[in-house]
Amino acid sequence: MSTISKYRLVCTLSFGDIYGQIIVWLIVIFVSLSAAMAFMGASRPIYALATVGLILVLTIPFLLFAFVTTLLNHIELMPLDPATAKSTVTPTASVSNQRPAQAAS
């Protein structure tokens, strides 16, 4: 038995874990768009485009870093007990007992 099959990989990430990050990034996007519209109203379209581009370029790496670190913090590698490892049902065995969905007529 290989050493990797003695462990179970579990991801416990839920939407609530990244909800705050999404809200903060949406606020940053709306602030950058409002700044761009203010520059557009002041007849400075180059500054408006530069403002949106600069804010997006500066925030996307932080957003990706936050998402990736949150995801990695929620991945668990749990050791399996040899007694319970043999009794677990494989995913293919549980799927084969199900009937396919049928449309109601």
Half-sphere exposure of 61 (CA within 13 A, CB side): 4
Strand-pair partners of 9:
77
Q: Do residues 93 and 30 make contact, with C-beta atoms less than 8 angstroms apart? A: no
Distance, in Å, from the CA atom of 95 to the CA atom of 78, rounded to the nearest integer, reads 24
DSSP secondary structure string for all residues of 16-47: HHHHHHHHHHHHHHHHHHHHHHHHHHTT-HHH
Q: Higher-confidence residue: 103 or 89?
A: 103
32-91: per-residue pLDDT in tens?
888 888 888 888 888 888 888 888 888 888 888 988 999 899 888 888 877 665 555 455
